[in-house]
């Protein structure tokens, strides 16, 4: 009878990681949470949870074989701050991350550059990430965070609060559709979610003059020029003043959350024929609890 060798990891193999035949520390079966302060060179198959500090623009790498997109994400998990280089599609997807978001990273490896440990992720490594901050059920889970008041927010982290909307404030300072009469939207590149600039005037922050005119746009983040029309869309840019009885604060609102608050898509907002109707959309959420 022919036996089948079990691939189930032993308890010892989940605790003690040794160098494999290729000279790497393979953390594929490591059973415990790995922190950034524990990272050193030549680790592979890492799983990490860390908060985004900053996301770079595209820094394409070019050699004799061609060009590949390259982005950098700075991470902080409370034990250390570390930079991650993300290549190709993995980088383009990560370019949409926002500072402060909590992210689970899977299949990450490490290298040593100028004495510093650098994290790396790519399509070849099958790198994946999951934005925990956008998972509604997880965001309010007691295993990750607990309820707090607005007055306590400056002294806490990983908390959620309930408050009533006092005011929705238009906050766009960048190029926007000619139909936007309140500066509540901006135009972004669908790939990275970052604002575009006019090809003929990259420093323009004014409203487009005529909705029937055709404009060319560039994405400085992705290093792309003359974007296709379908690759440029309008998103909301608003701030919301909220109050829970203990304090009142003004918060910047991400594009997806803004659409949830206003309960209309940007294109529908822009289609409203006059300023008063657009003002009504911004006024409607007042006194609603979020």
Q: What pTM does this model have?
A: 0.73
Residues 277 and 206 in one domain: yes
Which 3 state secondary structure label does DSSP give 51?
Answer: strand
CATH number at residue 114: 2.40.50.140
Other CB atoms within a 10 A radius of the CB of residue 285 amount to 19
pLDDT per residue, tens digit, the chain (290 aa), is 333 333 444 434 444 666 777 778 888 888 788 899 999 999 999 999 999 999 999 999 988 888 899 999 999 999 999 999 999 999 999 999 988 889 999 999 999 888 889 999 999 999 999 998 888 776 666 666 778 899 988 766 667 888 999 999 999 888 888 899 999 999 999 988 888 988 876 555 456 655 445 678 899 888 888 888 889 999 999 999 999 999 999 999 989 899 999 999 999 999 998 999 999 999 999 999 98
Neighbours of 252 (CB within 10 A): 13
Whether residue 151 lies inside any domain: the answer is no
Q: Are residues 23 and 121 in the same domain?
A: yes
Give the number of domains in the chain: 2
Cβ distance 199 to 226 under 8 Å?
Answer: yes
Find the domain containing 275 and state its range.
172-236+254-283
The answer to whether position 139 is within a domain reads no
CB 159 within 8 A of CB 141: no
Strand ranges, E, within 145-237: 146-147, 159-160, 164-170, 185-189, 197-198, 217-218, 232-236
Residues 93 and 179 occupy one common structural domain: no
Q: Are residues 194 and 92 in the same domain?
A: no
Classify 106 in phi/psi space as left (phi over 0), alpha (psi -120 to 50) or beta: beta
Whether residue 244 is contained in a domain is answered as: no
21 and 127 both lie in a single domain: yes
């Amino acid at each position: 009878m022919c036996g089948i060798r079990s691939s189930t990891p032993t308890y010892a193999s989940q605790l003690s990681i040794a160098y494999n035949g290729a000279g790497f520390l393979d953390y594929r079966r490591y059973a415990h949470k790995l922190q950034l302060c524990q990272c050193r060179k030549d680790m592979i198959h890492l799983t990490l949870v860390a908060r985004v500090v900053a996301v770079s623009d595209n820094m394409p790498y070019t050699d004799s074989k061609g060009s590949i997109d390259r982005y950098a994400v700075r991470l902080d998990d409370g034990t250390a701050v570390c930079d991650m280089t993300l290549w190709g599609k993995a980088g383009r997807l990560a370019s949409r991350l926002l500072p402060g978001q909590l992210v689970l990273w899977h299949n990450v490896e490490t290298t040593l550059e100028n004495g510093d440990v650098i994290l790396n992720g790519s399509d070849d490594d099958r790198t994946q990430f999951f934005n925990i901050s956008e998972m509604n059920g997880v965001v309010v889970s007691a295993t990750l965070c607990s309820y707090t008041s607005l007055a306590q927010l400056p002294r806490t982290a990983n908390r959620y609060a309930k408050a009533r909307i006092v005011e929705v404030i238009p906050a766009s300072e960048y190029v926007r559709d000619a139909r936007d009469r309140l500066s509540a939207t901006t135009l972004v590149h669908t790939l990275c979610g970052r604002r575009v600039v006019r090809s003929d005037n990259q420093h323009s922050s004014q409203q487009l003059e005529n909705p029937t005119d055709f404009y060319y746009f560039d994405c400085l983040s992705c290093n792309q020029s003359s974007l296709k029309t379908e690759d440029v869309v309008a998103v909301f840019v608003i701030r919301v003043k909220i109050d829970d009885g203990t304090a009142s604060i003004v918060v910047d609102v991400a594009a997806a959350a803004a659409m949830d608050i206003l309960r209309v898509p940007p294109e529908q907002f822009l289609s409203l024929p006059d300023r008063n109707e657009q003002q009504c959309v911004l006024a409607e959420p007042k006194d609603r609890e979020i």
